[in-house]
Amino acid sequence: MAATSPDEHARRAGQVRVAVDTGGTFTDVAVRRPDGSVEVWKVSSSPQAPDDAVVRGVEEALERGGADFGSVERFVHGTTVATNTLLTRTGARVGLVTTAGFADMLHIGHQSRSALYDLSVRRPAPLVPHELTWEVTERVASDGAVLVAPVAAELDGLAERIRAAAPEVVVVSLLNAYVDPAHEQRVVEHLRRAGAAPSVLAATSVTPEMREYERTSTAVISGYVQPAIADYLERLETRLAERAMPTRVWVMQSNGGLLGAGSAREHSVRTVLSGLVGGVVGAARWASQLGLPQVVSFDIGGTSTDIALIRDGVPGEMTSGELEGYPLRMPAVDVHTIGAGGGSIAWRDAGGSLRVGPQSAGARPGPVCYGRGGEQITVTDAHALLGRLGSSLLGGRLALDLDGARDRLAAFADELGLDEDEAAAGVLRVITATMARGVRKVSIERGIDPRDCVLMAFGGAGPLHATDLIRELGMKGAVVPPHPGIASAVGMLDAPVRHDFAAAAAATSAAELDTVARALEELTADAIRFLERRERVDPALVTVDRLVDARYLGQSHDLTVPWQADFAALRKAFDNAHLERYGFDDPDAVLEIVAVRASAVVEAPGAADLPRTSAEGAPPEPVETRSVRFGAHRHACPVYRRDDLPAGVELPGPLVLEQLDSTVVVAPGQVCHHDTFGFLHIHEERP
């Protein structure tokens, strides 16, 4: 039977696409109708059973859009289950089998320190304790030569010890298995046959790359979150099937692509950044369609801000990183997260200075103005008391307790020796400086001047801060999507299916490049077969990007560059990448290729162009005039409904635009206008 493209059956049966992004406070739903228009909806999240909010939110959104589950042609989900499992340390009981002499690998780690001169810094405790770590007598050399082979009798005894300890998941990570995984696979198969644990996985099946500590850490994290992800996705799929949804569930993964729910259960670590990247994927597509060459994606939620650099419609990527102090070795969108959001708490340090964050009021109790018992002034309270927010949010569903917030601000301002307006304005200046540092991290440190970039601001609080940030950094301007508070869900609607594959390789000269080329051919074939068999994709629809990891001989770390069969061209590409990333290159150094990569992608069928949503017309009338402070002064500021703003009409600041999922602020000396796609553009007034 021939393979079909993703969701082909559903396209014949259905009409709408659905994307769901689960957050700590809200679950966001986007539904695209056949005409390209989008229905958005928010419901409160249900952290103890996230699928409750997902199903409820989709039901309500479909009903509002005049559709039902049977009309869904594509279902995409961004989930925080894996992330929250790791953050709350509620994952599986994981055991580790490693080469004799390396039982302390996760405890020793490496010499990198988050704060070099802070003697009190401590790494997080390994997810595998000493008592769940076992050694096996075997050894493979770095060139793949077998020095000591595992013995069946020893593996029998190992299986008995593991059964007695009763771990839920066992990870087998053996030294140099990335060169030759045969020993790892043999141990895994033996333990599975012996019933040593409910789940046994090889580290090379998670990430077949060099660096033992990072590879082992990544595999352990995958095992740690696997039961939670598997249980959650199984419940969700069952509930959606009960409602006769004809399409499969696609899950957003850390690399910005989708994988099927079955693959997500098996490769759970790939979903640990699922909740962060949906907005970046959308921002990259919108930047390309709007013709913006350099964009900083800027997503502000209640607790944190996620920032990413997008060049020519492509977000930056990384092959290694950290989450909560645990190394991860896998391709992922390069998102820089800082502890600054709408719920960030303002406080006075020992020297009497005003500080903001990283502590957050969270969803409960939240900001004081939410009236849920919050007692500490937050960034949201500062916006509300400076007039940037009205008396309610979410279209009137959340009334704000401005009097309670004002009383608490008065006490806090007295501690600082400031008046109330000065204190609230100070909170915004401090958080703006923090956010500006985050933008510089992804721009200046990547060789990009932020003054050449446009800020794409979204998330519930992004449009509130865009006007201050573009002025602070001298950026070209800001762009706010039509549904900023639900941008992550909207951004996932047309995400591609993607799987990444890697293998060890070695070359230091043009004469050795043929071996690299053969390794890439094999990897490409493996990638296409995987998508055909596991994701039921037509091989003709697959495109494969081929890349190599390289470094100057003697370096510890590498850079990923596109594959080129000409060694001189490959060398030039690497030198340019090194110059951009580190500020220098070394033409005299020997170039060493250490790994090959294949990224297999299937674009979403019938991915939509931006629909023209904003009609032309006369400037709208404000719904009210409100006193709003900008800088050192208050202004009589008109407040508009964003839906009333037609295309092409330019409005001068100061002004406020309100909508269901966010509030946009435009400062004095700035102007804004809608384009014909419904995107709001903000920039400084031109002389």
pLDDT in tens, 12-32: 445 899 999 987 778 899 999
**Per-residue pLDDT, 274:** 87
**Per-residue pLDDT, 613:** 67
**Per-residue pLDDT, 11:** 43
DSSP strand pairing (16-22 vs 72-78): parallel
Lowest average pLDDT, out of 243-252, 354-363, 460-469, 528-537, goes to 354-363
**Per-residue pLDDT, 154:** 96
Whether the pLDDT of residue 587 is over 70: the answer is yes
Q: Quick one: CA dihedral 392, 398, 404, 408, positive or negative?
A: negative
| Cβ atoms within 10 Å, residue 561 | 20
Q: Is 594 exposed, middle or buried (0-12, 13-18, 19+ CB in 10 A)?
A: middle
Q: What are 634's two structure tokens?
A: 């208050």
User: In terms of Cα–Cα distance, which of 427, 95, 162, 450 is closest to 307?
Assistant: 450
> What backbone phi and psi angles, to 5 degrees, belong to 435?
-65, -35
**Per-residue pLDDT, 9:** 41
Lowest average pLDDT, out of 2-6, 27-31, 534-538, 613-617, goes to 2-6
Helix (H, G, I), strand (E, B) or coil at 440: helix
Residue 119's contacts (CB-CB under 8 Å, 6 or more residues apart) are none
Whether the pLDDT of residue 150 is over 60: the answer is yes
Whether the pLDDT of residue 7 is over 50: the answer is no
Distances, alpha carbon 310 to alpha carbons 567, 578, 592, in Å: 28, 19, 28
Interatomic CA distance for residues 484 and 156, integer angstroms: 57
Whether the pLDDT of residue 279 is over 80: the answer is yes
Interatomic CA distance for residues 9 and 35, integer angstroms: 20
What are the beta bridge partners of residue 547? 562, 597
Lowest average pLDDT, out of 10-14, 80-84, 127-131, 274-278, goes to 10-14
483 vs 608, more confident: 483
**Per-residue pLDDT, 454:** 97
Q: Round the average pLDDT of the chain to a whole number and report it.
A: 90
User: In terms of Cα–Cα distance, which of 487, 489, 482, 394 is closest to 681?
Assistant: 482
* Cis-peptide, bond into residue 654, ω within 30° of zero: yes
> Mind listing the pLDDT tens digit for each residue in 641-667?
998 899 888 999 899 999 988 899 999
Whether the pLDDT of residue 111 is over 90: the answer is no
Q: What is the mean pLDDT of residues 121-137?
A: 91
Q: What is the mean pLDDT of residues 342-359?
A: 89
| Cβ atoms within 10 Å, residue 142 | 11
Residue 686's contacts (CB-CB under 8 Å, 6 or more residues apart) are none
301 vs 148, more confident: 148
Whether the pLDDT of residue 614 is over 70: the answer is no
| Cβ atoms within 10 Å, residue 426 | 18
Contact (Cβ atoms closer than 8 angstroms) between residue 47 and residue 101: no
Interatomic CA distance for residues 529 and 4, integer angstroms: 13
Q: Which amino acid is at 429?
A: R
User: Please, what's the largest Cα pairwise distance for the chain?
Assistant: 84
